[in-house]
Chain A
Amino acid sequence: MSRLYLARNPRVAARALDGEMMIMSGRDSNLFTLNKTATILWQAADGLTPLDEIVGRRICSEFEVEPSVALQDAESLARDLASHEILQLSEHPIPQFNGGVAR
């Protein structure tokens, strides 16, 4: 089974405030507010850690959910975030990822 790697899109602006992660697209200035799971994915998206590891370490420990269900939901969410160009996805590590760490 192939693994999925996530990286933050460096073209977006991101900040957390009062526990809310806000992201603005550099392409069209659209504003997104991430829910708790999406925020976990965003914060963990270093381009090097595969999604199944993020789910195992960060999501299953946070929510009472079956790992297989959590992985399926997380992948769906990651693809949704990628469709808005918030995340970049690849079946290979994304070494060119150059930061964009949320403040």
Chain B
Amino acid sequence: MPELAAELELFSVVLDIGGIPVRLNTGDPVFLRMLQERYEGFLGSSERAEIEFDVDLARGKLADPDADVQVSQTDGRWQLTRGDFHAEWEPLSRRGRIRQSANPYSMDAVLRIVHTLVLARQGGFLVHAASAIRNGRAFLFAGVSGAGKTTISRLAPPHVTLLTDEISYVRKHSNGYTAFGTPFAGELAKVGENVSAEVSALYLLAQGPENLIEPVPAAEATRSLLANILFFAEDDELVRSIFDSAFEFVSRVPVSRLTFVPDSRVWELIG
């Protein structure tokens, strides 16, 4: 029965974002191709994925993707729900299941949430920030929508490697922090490079009449960082981890306010 065998065949893709390979299994080759195109540059070859999801595709569209995200944990199993997807993930077994329609946006959201949960336990985080590598060092540019993340990314000189113009991926290591490229793009609509570098500075973005870098007191820096960290889970322990991570980051990485006019000379101040 070749038809039946074909129906049962599973297609897999490994997405290597932030050095944490996630395998996605789907029975739909068209959806697989969509994922391969969406996450081009972040496709891993690792046979040993750290997390594995089976993806069930719902026919037609699921409900409202603008509905609030709900992320909670019961008996070691995470439940991730938004109008357009429902996912379950058990960290102990490293396996989970995602139900969504065949679109890349729902998958993007699930991946972001899963990575925030993984990073929270490791002292890292996803943060609303552009990031780029210059001369081997990574710089983060944090701010809410409209603060200038896309603008500063667009103004980067050619030798600067853009990691993301929207959501930066930060992992802790023994002596500091590493920023990784992400496929999570903002208005620039361009995925970052899948490379990483030691974080050298965090700039809090503001647009103004001149290019200026000013020091930021630690309390303000921590508050601003916390305001920009992505976190969705209703979980006391992980909230505490994220909270502590922000304090730790500010104690190790210089934080400044970068006020800039939208022209490329601002990059003369960076690095």
Contacts and interface: CB of A to CB of B under 8 A. Distances in A.
Given A26-B235, A27-B234, A28-B234, A17 B240 contact: no
**Which secondary structure dominates chain B's binding surface?**
helix
Interface string B215-233: 0011100110011000100
B244 interface: yes
B236 interface: yes
Given A22-B243, A24-B240, A29-B239, 12 more contacts: A11-B236, A13-B239, A13-B244, A15-B243, A17-B218, A22-B219, A22-B222, A29-B231, A29-B242, A31-B223, A31-B226, A31-B227
Interface string A52-96: 000000000000000000000000000000000000000000000
B247 interface: yes
Interface string B239-251: 1101110010000
A3 B217 CA distance: 39
A4 B235 CA distance: 29
A18 B226 contact: no
**Which secondary structure dominates chain A's binding surface?**
strand
B218 A24 contact: no
Nearest to B229: A29
Contacts of A13: 239-240, 243-244
A24 B243 contact: yes
23 contacts: A11-B236, A13-B239, A13-B240, A13-B244, A17-B218, A17-B219, A17-B222, A17-B247, A18-B217, A18-B218, A18-B219, A20-B219, A20-B223, A22-B222, A24-B243, A26-B234, A26-B235, A26-B236, A26-B239, A29-B239, A29-B242, A31-B227, A33-B223
